Amino acid sequence: MSTWTARDITDQTGRTVVVTGANSGLGAETAKALGAAGATVILACRNVDKAAPVAAAIGANAQVRRLDLADLASVREFAAGVDSVDVLINNAGVMAVPKSTTAEGFEMQFGTNHLGHFALTGLLLDRITDRVVTMSSLMHRFGSINLDDLNWERRRYSRWPAYGQSKLANLMFAYELDRRLTAAGSTVKSLAAHPGYAATGLQGHTQSLWDRFMGIGNLFAQSAEMGALPELYAATVDSVSSGTFIGPDGPFEQRGYPRVVGSSGKSHDRAAAASLWGESERLTGVTYRFGK
């Protein structure tokens, strides 16, 4: 696995993949690699104009559809327009943004990164034939799930802990989805991935002094093409097991080729994951239906 690249993706002809946030960064590189391998790729993006050049680069295999994960009405509208999907890649996200809220009043990072994808996956689940890949981050290790204040209404808002919470929630969701699919006897897989430290452009949208710092840091980051490899591996390799977390194989998982990696103890807290799941269903109004 240590030298696996996008050139090793098997023929994806006849398969349909939804990639959220495919207009730039990791999502764009993922969409382009899958399109080159023959997949029909649905670029699910809030800004469809920005997705157009990526779709043009892919060619006839690409479709652009609007999806705003910070608006559950948009999530429902998008899901209603999808007939069947082999692979859903929950890639989109926001990072360390100033305090703001989604259309439903959720804290923006938790609402977009976790709740939006939780709702999308639940609404599409009966039409997903192969697997769900959810992007997390090394920052999950610095996150905590505060079930009493998931939306930072009682605490003073802090952008980086809020980001860490959202990325821990992504990972806990992927693990819990795997457990529930397995219990239901489903053959659909749930996997998670993280890109290490990759130059994606996400780091430059914090609207703070961090933008300048992260811009300098990008000089030492691996490329978006390399950062996309873990999610591409998770999305396409037949032998990878459900419930697996894929990240780079280099020092401290900052860069390198995809391999199975570990995660924090908090991410494996089954009781917390079940509680987070219940709160996520309550907040989004999306109840999962598991059938064989």
Give me the active site residues, please.
163
| Cα dihedral: 286, 140, 50, 116 (round 10) | 10
Q: Are 21 and 47 in contact (CB under 8 A)?
A: no
Q: Which helix (H) or strand (E) holds 35?
A: helix 25-36
Phi, psi of 52 (to 5 degrees): -60, -45
Q: Are 89 and 18 in contact (CB under 8 A)?
A: yes
Helix axes 117-124 and 72-80, enclosed angle (nearest 10): 30
**What gap in Å lies between CA 148 and CA 112, rounded to an integer?**
19
Q: Which helix (H) or strand (E) holds 248?
A: strand 245-248
Strand partners, 267: none
Q: Are 26 and 200 in contact (CB under 8 A)?
A: yes
Count CB neighbours of 170 within 10 A: 25
Strand partners, 85: 128
**What one-character DSSP code corresponds to residue 206?**
S
